[in-house]
Amino acid sequence: MSAFAFVFPGQGSQSVGMLDAWGDHPVVRQTLQEASEALGQDVARLIAEGPKEELDLTTNTQPVMLAAGVACYRAWLAETGREPAVVAGHSLGEYTALVAAGALRFADALPLVRFRAQAMQEAVPVGAGGMAAILGLDAAEVRAGCEEAAAAAGEPVEAVNFNDPKQTVIAGTKAAVEKACEVLKARGAKRALPLPVSAPFHSSLMKPAAERLRERLAMTAFEAPRLPVVNNIDVKVETDPAAIRDALYRQAFGPVRWVETVQALKARGVTTVVECGPGKVLAGMVKRIDGELQVGNVFDPASLAEVKGLLQ
C-alpha cells in the first residue's frame, strides 16, 4: 500500500452548509457537539445555517474550520481505521493536524484558535492592513518586489504564503500592499488580486498578536504527537511540546512555506496527499507543486469512499 499524507485547510475554505452531506453521521455529529460545548455556542447550527457574515468572522472561522477538519478526519478513521503516515496543515490547518496527531486535545485547540483569531484581529485595525495573491511570478521575484515596494511606501509588505510555484500571497499595510501590487505587475505578475481578509496574516505586523498567543500557548497542554507533523514555519517535524509551541508562535508572524511542506511530505515517501476538510484548495496546490503526487479529498461520504478506493 502506498504511503499517504493528510493535509488540513485553513481560513478561506469555509462555506455555509459545508458539512451537510454527512447527514446525521454519528462521528461528525459528536464532534460538532464537542465543539459547541468547548466554545459555548451552537457550532453545528452556525455551519449549517450561517449566516455567511457570521461564519466569515475570523473569530468564528478559525474554530469552525478546525472543527470541520477534525470531524472529517474522525469520520475517515471510523470508516477505514487507517492513519496517514504524516500530516500537515496550511496556516490554521496546522492546529487541526496537531489534533489529528494527538499532540493537542480537540477541546483545548478550539478556544486556543479562537484566541489566536482574536489576537490577530486586534493586532491591526480593520482596514489598515491587507493581503493580495500574486499569480504567475516566481517567489524570489515576489520577495524582491515586496522589498522595493516597502522601501517606496515606507511601510511593511512581505511575501507570507508560498502556496505553489507561481502563487505567492503578500501581506502588509494597505498602502504598501497596493504599492507592491503595482510593482509586481510591472515585474511580470499575471495578476495581483486583493484578498477579502480582515488582517495581514503571517506578516511582521502580527508580532503583537504572536506575543499574546505565546502566553496562551504556554498555558495549553501539548504532548509528543503520535504521527509526524510537518510544520509551516521551519518545514520540520517536532516532537518536543516546547518546540511545537515555539513553531506555532513564530508561525503567527512568519510565512507559510507550503511548497516546501509538500516537498517534505514526498521526501518522506508519500505518494498520495489527501486534503481533509471542506474545500479543494490544498489539493489543487499540491498538484501544481508536484504533478507526480496523487491527490484526494475527504469532505463528505462520497469523497471519503473515493479516497478509500484510491488507497487500496
Strand ranges of the sheet holding 294-298, from the earlier edge strand across to the other edge: 86-89, 3-8, 270-276, 294-298
- Distance (Å, whole) CA 291 – CA 262: 11
Q: Cis peptide leading into 9, omega within 30 of 0?
A: no
Maximum CA extent, the chain = 56
Q: 71: buried, middle or exposed (CB in 10 Å: 19+, 13-18, 0-12)?
A: buried
Residue type, 141: E
107 and 253 in contact (C-beta within 8 Å)?
A: no
Cell of 16: 455555509
- Distance (Å, whole) CA 101 – CA 68: 16
Cell of 56: 466569515
Q: Catalytic residue, from 91, 198, 203, 303: name it.
A: 91
DSSP character at residue 229:
B
- Distance (Å, whole) CA 148 – CA 142: 10
Q: Per 3-state DSSP, what percentage of the chain is helix, strand, and coil (rounded to 5)?
A: 50, 15, 30
Q: DSSP H helical segments within 159-300, as ranges?
A: 174-186, 207-218, 241-251, 258-267, 281-289
Q: Indicate if 202 belongs to the active site.
A: yes
Q: Indicate if 91 belongs to the active site.
A: yes
Neighbours of 63 (CB within 10 A): 26
- Distance (Å, whole) CA 118 – CA 110: 13
Q: Catalytic residue, from 13, 25, 202, 203: name it.
A: 202
Catalogue the active-site residues.
91, 202
